[in-house]
A = this chain, B = another copy of it.
Amino acid sequence: MSLPETFISCDWGTSNFRLRVIHTDTLSVIKEYSSSQGVKEVYQNYTDQDQLDKSSYYAKFLEEKLMSIVDLNQPHIVVASGMVSSSMGMYELDYTSTPFSAEGNDILSKRISISNNVQMLITSGVKQGDDVMRGEEVQALGLAKYLQDVDKGVLLLPGTHSKHLQFEANIFHQFDTFMTGEMFDMLTKHSILSNSVKKGPFDENNRSAFKEGVRKAVAEGLSKNLFKVRAKALLDNRDSTESFYYLSGLLIGDELSYLKEKQDKVCIAASGMLNQLYQLALAEVIEDKDRLVFFKEDILEKALLIGQKKILEKQYECV
């Protein structure tokens, strides 16, 4: 059975929701709808009512949003990844276990009828003994295409919960989660350091402060250096924006420090500010520049679509 001409990509995280009508062949985006109505908010709204069961409630929500970008009198298939398959999401799927193939064969998916015309493919997350992810595995499937020349290494997906995926010969065999983004958010908002740091433009001074933070974390670790962010502000009146980037450097440096001693290639896919910061940090941590593979900004964006298309293809192969 041949693939449909378009599919609808659904990226449904804890606090974000995005639908995109995708041209299957070229992966170009035809239409888009996005909002902050992540699984957390929708689940909360679902528990606040008692008329619909969970899957009906989510299906109604989805149909309402779909209406704004497609004609529901035509058939559609939605490929959904992220927290939508968690216990708070639309339909809970168990995790696939590591290792998983970059071809997408191992990722579980579940087909659900939303209405006569709308079918949905929900994909599972991945677990290993002591870690879990939901969503990043589909990005990883998409990025695999660009990893073929690398053969063996670690793929970094920075974010609120950064993921480091070890891969070899097209197999992702192990991964770790680092709470770097969430820690930074907490420390700048809820800790004693919040008085010493202030977001600001990333100029040359702040760049140096960031790199200093990275080097400090790699040399001495995080825990001895965290409070010194405040001490420096008190004693040296260090500029609060410099302190902001110094703290960011400490946290990202701490996340990356274990890579210093390895021999593997390190590939990284991120966009915007995160991309800039992680590329700078990796250049500080890893001396041998041949070990570094930086993906272009738009590749991560595309990776999710490539990954979702792989899931879709497996489904059509089986039919």
Contacts and interface: CB of A to CB of B under 8 A. Distances in A.
Contact of A235 (B127, B177, B230): B127
A234 B95 CA distance: 11
Nearest to A189: B190
Contacts of A129: 235
Contact of A192 (B131, B182, B190): B182
B255 A131 contact: no
Contacts of A295: none
Contacts of A183: 191, 226
A191 B177 CA distance: 14
Contacts of A23: none
A191 B178 contact: no
A232 interface: yes
A258 to B, nearest CB: 7
Interface of A: 95, 127, 129-132, 161, 176-180, 182-183, 186-187, 190-192, 221-224, 226-228, 230-232, 234-235, 254-255, 258
8 contacts: A130-B232, A132-B235, A178-B226, A179-B223, A179-B226, A183-B226, A186-B186, A186-B190
